[in-house]
């Protein structure tokens, strides 16, 4: 069936629909490179600015996708891999300043259970919780991210999008989104994909094998430079290959876009000795908890949650290797809380706390989870105790938990203050603006609250919705002097003008 055949991940999709090259032609291009014949050079590829606009267009839709998930705990963990990779790419000269400045370099998490990660135009990256839940170390996750990062630094996507396509970004964006929807739900995506069906049917192009090898090679260097163990590349490949044999039900779309060859695996294996002495595998403790969280959050069904709770029953738990027991206890604690069995969640949480041991990163994850559960059952003061003293370097997850506790305790001023400081440094943090909107509303600062909601829209690239909110804030500032002060009102006016400008630029692209 046609849709099944193109039930691909985004990478494949981007490739498939762009340029009008058939797979056959792609192989010819590969061959051309080897024989010195003309190939897809930068002179024909899309400009970075146009690629970024295309990426923004796609990202705007992803932010609206019900599967998009901004979980601060997993997000912080992914950032703790991502930022060192970016630094390493710069240090190795793999990240040209022009791309560094023009592209988004943003990782978006998806609730999807399938094992997948992908790169999109303009350096947006998607990571499914299914992938986070299945990798067994930070090094393995770093290997996948470094590979995807390298597809972008090497401008592989740009090379697949010719200048000719630059004229029709709306079509390309629609096609990529349609194909992504098809990959998630092969049976139900007809409506989304129908507009571009004819184009999709006659064009199919993947990253070439040369591009895959290059992303392996460059990614391997970047991950090593960033301090991740090179073994992560090999064990990731092994895991994917093994899973592919065991699981033919489509749970591993990563394999469809990144076919494994023995050659690729051997290539990585051969690279190991040069780096192995310098780096040691990251301790698995924290990773086990994060992977457990990803598995629970990727499937909120009652049956799945009950399953995680049962896995931590003492008889069940004893059968698992010691290294996996903390993960099982974490999953059970979170799952019991999601089932609103709070007494059970606290009981398992106590077992988790005593199993956590001396590892500071593990202990921190346990504190965050206990605070989250205390908040869920309405014990905000206890949540603050679980969080512990908050230093200036607290993480995003810690900030959001503390803010929720403060709001529940009626301390909106304190919450607003810490959030203002945060968004000053992180102006595109949609979730921070969301909490700021609530804090300002609780303080009775209506204009500031509506403006913060507009900032959520701006951060998620929905300028039309942002403008509607900013206009409402302007009306309110004019008609109700108590709703906001002069300072607030002037910020709203400035932001409204900026958003109008962004909308005009967007209109020109169509
Ligand atoms: Zn790849």
Q: How many C-beta atoms lie closer than 10 Å to residue 41's C-beta? A: 9
Nearest Cα neighbor of 348 from 368, 326, 376, 378 is 326
Query: Measured in angstroms, how far is the CA atom of residue 3 from the centroid of ligand 1?
Result: 22
Residue 120: phi, psi to the nearest 5?
-120, 165
Distance separating alpha carbons of residues 111 and 114, to the nearest angstrom: 9
Determine the number of helices (DSSP H) and then strands (DSSP E) in the chain. Answer: 30, 3
CB 129 within 8 A of CB 112: yes
Strand order in the sheet with 106-110: 106-110, 124-128, 117-120
Element (H, E) at 252: none
CB under 5 Å of ion ligand 1: residues: 212, 215, 258
pLDDT at 207: 76
User: What is the model's pLDDT at position 269?
Assistant: 75
Distance 245 CA to ligand 1 centre (A): 20
What's the pLDDT score for residue 231?
86
331 CA from centroid of ligand 1 (Å): 31
The Å distance, Cα 200 to ligand 1 centre, comes to 20
Q: Do 150 and 215 contact (CB within 8 A), yes or no?
A: yes
The pLDDT of residue 254 is 67
**Cα–ligand 1 centroid distance for 149 (angstroms):** 9
Beta carbons within 8 Å of 92's beta carbon, 6+ residues apart = 221, 222, 225
Spans of the chain, pLDDT less than 70? 1-44, 162-171, 179-206, 243-261, 273-283, 510
Residue 273 CA, ligand 1 centroid: distance in Å:
23
Q: How far is the CA of 177 from the centre of ligand 1 (A)?
A: 19
User: Distance from CA of residue 277 to its chain's centroid?
Assistant: 31
Candidates 174, 153, 284, 150; CA nearest to 224 is: 150
Query: What's the gap in Å between 473 CA and the centre of ligand 1?
Result: 46
User: How far apart, in whole angstroms, are the C-alpha atoms of residue 450 and residue 486?
Assistant: 15
Instruction: Evaluate whether 451 touches 468 at the Cβ level (below 8 Å).
Output: no
Reported pTM: 0.84
Query: For position 510, what pLDDT does the model report?
Result: 61
Please name which of 209, 264, 210 lies closest in space to residue 233, comparing C-alpha atoms.
264
pLDDT score, position 169: 63
């Amino acid at each position: 069936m046609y849709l099944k055949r193109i039930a691909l991940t985004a990478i494949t999709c981007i490739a498939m629909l762009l340029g009008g090259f058939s797979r056959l032609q792609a192989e010819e291009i590969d061959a051309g490179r080897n024989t010195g014949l003309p190939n897809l050079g930068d002179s024909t590829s899309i400009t970075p600015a146009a690629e970024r606009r295309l990426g923004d267009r796609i990202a705007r839709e992803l932010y609206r996708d019900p599967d998009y998930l901004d979980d601060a705990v997993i997000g912080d963990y992914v950032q703790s891999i991502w930022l060192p990779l970016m630094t390493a790419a710069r240090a190795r000269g793999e990240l040209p300043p022009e791309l560094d400045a023009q592209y988004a370099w943003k990782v978006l998490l998806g609730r999807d259970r399938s094992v997948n990660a992908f790169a999109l135009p303009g350096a947006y990256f998607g990571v499914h919780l299914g992938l986070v839940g299945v990798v067994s170390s930070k090094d393995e996750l770093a290997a996948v991210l470094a590979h995807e990062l390298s597809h972008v630094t090497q401008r592989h996507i740009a090379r697949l999008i010719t200048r000719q396509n630059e004229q029709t970004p709306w079509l390309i964006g629609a096609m990529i989104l349609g194909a992504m929807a098809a990959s998630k739900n092969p049976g139900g995506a007809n409506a989304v994909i129908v507009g571009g069906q004819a184009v999709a049917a006659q064009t199919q192009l993947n990253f070439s094998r040369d591009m895959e090898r290059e992303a392996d090679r460059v990614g391997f260097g970047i991950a090593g430079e960033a301090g991740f163990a090179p073994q992560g590349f090999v064990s990731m490949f092994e895991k994917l290959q093994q899973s592919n044999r065991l699981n033919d039900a489509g749970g591993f779309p990563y394999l469809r876009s990144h076919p494994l060859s023995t050659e690729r695996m051997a290539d990585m294996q051969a690279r190991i000795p040069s780096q192995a002495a310098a780096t040691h595998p990251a301790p698995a403790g924290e990773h086990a908890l994060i992977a457990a969280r990803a598995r629970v959050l990727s499937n909120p069904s009652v049956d799945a949650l009950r399953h995680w709770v049962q896995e931590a029953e003492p008889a069940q738990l004893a059968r698992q290797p010691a290294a996996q027991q903390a993960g099982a206890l974490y999953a059970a604690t979170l799952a019991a809380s999601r089932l609103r069995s709070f007494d059970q969640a606290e009981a398992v949480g106590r077992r988790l706390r005593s199993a956590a041991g001396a590892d500071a990163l593990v202990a921190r994850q346990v504190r965050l989870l206990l605070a989250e559960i205390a908040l869920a059952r309405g014990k905000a003061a206890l949540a603050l105790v679980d969080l512990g003293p908050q230093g200036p370097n607290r993480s995003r997850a810690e900030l959001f938990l503390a803010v929720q506790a403060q709001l529940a305790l009626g301390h909106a001023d304190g919450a607003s203050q810490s959030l203002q400081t945060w968004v000053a440094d992180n102006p595109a943090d949609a979730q921070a603006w969301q909490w700021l909107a609530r804090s300002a509303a609780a303080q009775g600062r209506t204009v500031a609250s509506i403006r913060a909601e507009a900032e959520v829209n701006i951060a998620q690239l929905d300028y039309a919705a942002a403008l509607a909110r900013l206009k409402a804030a302007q009306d309110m500032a004019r008609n109700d002097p108590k709703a906001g002060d002069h300072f607030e009102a002037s910020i709203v006016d400035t932001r409204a003008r900026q958003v109008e400008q962004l909308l005009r630029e967007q209109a020109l692209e169509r």
